Structure 1
């Protein structure tokens, strides 16, 4: 009964234009993930270690206080992530709301999906590709603040010496993603 009431509330809020940010959680090999979307598209993917309540509070303060658990808006994102984690999807075809990034960070994040599935580049190589070869640290910052990890594959960016560097979801999550893509590439 409570589930039906929530669904009716979410549907009504969407119909009346009162739902600015819809969210849901999904299970993944990385643990639970929070997905959030505006009418423009997927705006945030968050790891449990980020504290979902804190992420939702930040979205409410930054974008709009009209936030509601409304899973239907995120059905496509959830399905594509499931396909990615099971090895049947190598890139995402989702509408993205990039309003949480701007300037150089946004340029870096727009480039990351061009790194081929199962491949990696160094922070230096990404800096060169976006036209600012001396901005290696800025590339690292852009990756560290990527609001759409996994979908915008910052996990494919490594240190010049081949070490992992940092990752918003933790190094275990970055390792898992790189192994998933490497295993799928060698199997296929």
Structure 2
């Protein structure tokens, strides 16, 4: 049986809940309320919370954490490609579809983005519509806009 650990970070875009198993970060969620009895840190959670702090302070442009997102092979391919989109940059859903050698899968890429279990660290907020519009962010478009502004995306 896996042991899971939980930590919370109060960010400028709301409360963030981070979960890990013994070896990997497995989820990050924007939540409304902290569950006071639910905090159980391990080194990995502490490290993740520190890296989130550095990111929001403008001191970190890349996360360095072991990740284990749960999803289909297609979703994992999309999420892996998202990790190649650097801080301060954006790509379109079509760019990601082309990069994973499935250029007709633009909508499926959007669906995979929506199911990203570790947003922010797997930077799905850096993906925009082909028209240049901010579309589809599970955490809310206002958060996507805030994060892109934070990263000084033009």
- Which TM-score applies when normalising by structure 2? 0.91
Task: Describe the SS at the equivalent of 1:150.
Answer: coil
Match of 1:86 among 31, 39, 57: 57
Q: Please give the per-residue CA displacement for 1:136-175, whole angstroms capped at 9, x wherever unaligned.
A: 0110011001000000000000000011111111011000
Whole-angstrom CA distance in 2 between matches of 1:169 and 1:120: 17
Alpha carbon RMSD of aligned pairs, Å? 1.9
Instruction: Find the counterpart in structure 2 of residue 177 from structure 1.
Output: 147
The answer as to 2:81 corresponding to 1:111 is: yes
Whole-angstrom CA distance in 1 between matches of 2:137 and 2:152: 18
Q: Which of the pair is proportionally richer in helix?
A: 1
Is the 1:121–1:156 contact (alpha carbons within 8 Å) kept by the matching residues of 2?
Answer: yes
Whole-angstrom CA distance in 2 between matches of 1:21 and 1:101: 18
Deviation, 1:93, is: 0.5
Instruction: Find the counterpart in structure 2 of residue 24 from structure 1.
Output: 7
Written as runs of structure 1 = structure 2, the 5 A alignment for 1:27-46 is 27-46=10-29
- Which TM-score applies when normalising by structure 1? 0.75
Equivalences, count? 151
- Flag structure 1 segments of 5+ consecutive residues without an equivalent: 1-17, 54-67
Deviation, 1:52, is: 7.3
Written as runs of structure 1 = structure 2, the 5 A alignment for 1:1-188 is 20-48=3-31, 69-73=39-43, 74-98=45-69, 100-182=70-152
Whole-angstrom CA distance in 2 between matches of 1:52 and 1:110: 30
Bigger Rg over Cα: 1
- Flag structure 2 segments of 5+ consecutive residues without an equivalent: none
Structure 1 stretches of 4+ with a deviation exceeding 4 A read none
Is the 2:8–2:39 contact (alpha carbons within 8 Å) kept by the matching residues of 1?
Answer: no
